[in-house]
Amino acid sequence: MKMKNTSIRTRVTLYYSLTMIFITVFLLIAFLLVSSRQISVASRDTVMKAVQNSFDEIEYGNDFIEIDDDFDSYKRGVTLLVYTEGGRLIKGSVPKGFPAGTPLSAGEFQQMVADGETYLIYDLYNTYENGQGIWVRGIYAMEGSLTALKAVTLIILIALPAILVFVILAGRRITRQAFIPVAEIADAADSISNGQDLSRRLPMGKNKDELYHLSKTLNQMIERLEEAFKAEKEFSSDVSHELKTPVSVMLAECEYALQETRSPEEYQETLQMIQGQCRRTMSLIQQLLQMSRTLDREKMLEREEFDLSVLCESIAEELSLVAEEKGICLKHDIQPDICIYADETLILRMIMNLLTNGMKYSRPDAADSAVLLKLRKDPHTENTVITVEDNGIGIRKEDLENIFHRFYKVDKSRTGGEESFGLGLSMVRWIARAHGGDVRAESTFGEGSRFTVTLPSTLCEAPPETDG
Ligand code: ADP
């Protein structure tokens, strides 16, 4: 039978019903076997005892046999017959239908069916002092006990189909009840996916059973999907917004220039303005590409073992000239020989972003602007700690929570001069977290900021090399 397309409900009912039938038939057979055996043992015991006891009521002299008057030839369902040694019946009468010629057999049980009746026969022979012997035969008609057993079996056989039908119907009902929540979950999931309404949730039910946990897990998944879709939406709208601003400026400049004939100086000014906006747009596109490449590496960081101390020193050296041009003193305090197993390109980008921010957000009027890059290993936790400190403009408390969000800029009007798209710190946090670490910002508005990246100690150990 093909069960592939059968519903779970039908399958459960089927398995359950077959199991019930199997158990019932097994129990019935066991009952019959045990009962008939019990009846057989009890019957043998009754016949044997009756025959043995009857000898107490028979006396045998030299030339006489005396049977007590109170000799009972029908005792507890057993017919007792007394025979002489030669096989002549001297006491009792053979039950109707019992074959009188049945041979005597000392100490053995015989079972026979005659005239529709089942008989159990037990014969015993006793020899007296004068050497003469006597037979006593016990005949037990078993039909009485067997009839009761047959009646019970018949009742069970008649009741069995009814019981099975009841059991199957009850099973179907129970499974239908049990599957109602599953159908509800499926309906709800269907309407969520059809209507694309990710704000809806699946019903959880009152009992904390398997279905409750299934709904809970699916709801968590829908919640994450909703967040991801929301983030995607926000990202697209932020990107559009960022691109719209320079394009609008360029359009306005072109329209202004084309309205009437302008002087060559005015045209030059317009072109310079457009060039500036083009550069800004290009820079945004580059940053977006860089970010997308960074995020693409999420699942497969290209990890390798490298000396972070050397990397920090070379970054500081590289940026010191740029800093000098801006009148900023770039200092570094680097603990030597810190090696980590990480994605070097991403770590480099992370430190670069923090340092360029430190320089970008220096106080314009300050003569002592400085940025400090620090690298050390925490002696307690063995974590690697990178700190970038500056004495720049600082960040207000209310902005501090948001600066790691994509496209978040504290000063929205800041467009000229250096590019500011609000992408750098979100990338820093993403890189730190992708390596199992995190980044923290502390700042005093007007005095300066400190960014601390913590990378876990586990990054210091390269995984063991595997063969092949
Ligand atoms: P961007 O610098 O391109 O605007 P970031 O994500 O790097 O983007 O920074 C987000 C915001 O955080 C910046 O707009 C700036 O206001 C603030 N910020 C970042 N670093 C510093 C810093 N060292 N000092 C003061 N403000 C900072």
Residue nearest to atom 7 of ligand 1 (CA): 424
Ligand 1 center to 343 CA (angstroms) = 24
Mutate-to-test residue for ligand 1 from 403, 450, 452, highest number of ligand atoms within 8 A of CB: 403
Structure confidence at residue 418 (pLDDT): 60
Looking at the CA of residue 393, tell me the nearest atom of ligand 1.
25
Tokens representing residue 426 in the block:
């979100």
Segment among 114-128, 137-151, 268-282, 291-305 with least mean pLDDT: 291-305
Residue nearest to atom 25 of ligand 1 (CA): 394
Q: For the segment 344-399, what is each residue's pLDDT rounded down to a tens digit?
A: 988 998 999 999 999 999 988 888 999 999 999 999 999 999 999 999 999 999 99
Mutate-to-test residue for ligand 1 from 235, 330, 356, 357, highest number of ligand atoms within 8 A of CB: 357
Please say if the pLDDT value at position 206 is more than 70. yes
Name the residue among 131, 130, 126 with its Cα closest to residue 51: 126
Residue nearest to atom 2 of ligand 1 (CA): 420
- For range 336-344, the mean pLDDT: 94
Q: Hey, what long-range contacts does 6-9 have (CB within 8 A, 24 or more apart)?
A: 8/179, 9/172, 9/175, 9/176, 9/179
Ligand 1 center to 424 CA (angstroms) = 7
Ligand 1 center to 403 CA (angstroms) = 7
Please say if the pLDDT value at position 187 is more than 90. no
Higher-pLDDT residue of 297 and 178 is 178
Q: What is the mean pLDDT of the chain?
A: 86
Please say if the pLDDT value at position 414 is more than 60. no
Higher-pLDDT residue of 107 and 291 is 107
Ligand 1 center to 405 CA (angstroms) = 11
Structure confidence at residue 128 (pLDDT): 76
Q: For the segment 83-96, what is each residue's pLDDT rounded down to a tens digit?
A: 988 888 888 888 88
* Of the ranges 285-289, 292-296, 331-335, 425-429, the best mean pLDDT one: 331-335
Q: For the segment 257-310, what is each residue's pLDDT rounded down to a tens digit?
A: 899 888 999 999 999 989 988 988 888 888 788 777 777 665 577 889 999 999
Report CA 300 to chain centroid distance, whole Å: 27
Share of the chain above pLDDT 90, in %: 35
Q: Hey, what long-range contacts does 237-244 have (CB within 8 A, 24 or more apart)?
A: 238/406, 238/407, 239/288, 242/284, 242/407, 242/421, 243/281, 243/284
Mutate-to-test residue for ligand 1 from 425, 430, 442, highest number of ligand atoms within 8 A of CB: 425
Contact 361, 422 (CB under 8 A): no
Q: For the segment 29-85, what is each residue's pLDDT rounded down to a tens digit?
A: 898 899 888 888 999 999 999 999 888 888 776 667 788 777 888 888 899 999 988
Residue nearest to atom 16 of ligand 1 (CA): 410
Residue nearest to atom 23 of ligand 1 (CA): 358
Check residue 255 and give left, alpha or beta (phi > 0: left; psi -120 to 50: alpha).
Answer: alpha
Residue nearest to atom 9 of ligand 1 (CA): 422
Ligand 1 center to 378 CA (angstroms) = 27
Largest CA-CA distance found in the chain, in angstroms, rounded: 169
Please say if the pLDDT value at position 412 is more than 70. no
Check residue 207 and report its DSSP letter: S
Structure confidence at residue 425 (pLDDT): 94
Structure confidence at residue 463 (pLDDT): 67
Name the residue among 379, 382, 397, 388 with its Cα closest to residue 444: 397
Please say if the pLDDT value at position 212 is more than 70. yes
Q: How far apart are CA 350 and CA 454, in angstroms?
A: 12
Distance set, CA 113 to CA 107, 142, 232, 359 (Å): 20, 10, 92, 116
Residues 6+ apart with CB under 8 A from 12: 171, 175
Structure confidence at residue 468 (pLDDT): 42
Q: How far apart are CA 33 and CA 108, in angstroms?
A: 23
Tokens representing residue 348 in the block:
């480099």
Structure confidence at residue 415 (pLDDT): 42
Structure confidence at residue 115 (pLDDT): 81
Q: How far apart are CA 361 and CA 354, in angstroms?
A: 11
Ligand 1 center to 409 CA (angstroms) = 7
Q: How far apart are CA 209 and CA 317, in angstroms?
A: 62
Query: Any residues with Cβ below 6 Å from ligand 1, and which?
Result: 357-358, 361, 390, 392-395, 403, 408-411, 420-426, 449
Ligand 1 center to 239 CA (angstroms) = 18
- For range 311-320, the mean pLDDT: 94
Higher-pLDDT residue of 324 and 206 is 324
Place of tokens 């007007």: 446
pLDDT bucket at 416, cuts 50 / 70 / 90: very low
Instruction: Give the predicted TM-score (pTM) of the model.
Output: 0.56
Ligand 1 center to 346 CA (angstroms) = 19
Contact 351, 312 (CB under 8 A): yes
Residues 6+ apart with CB under 8 A from 185: 202, 203, 211, 214, 215, 218
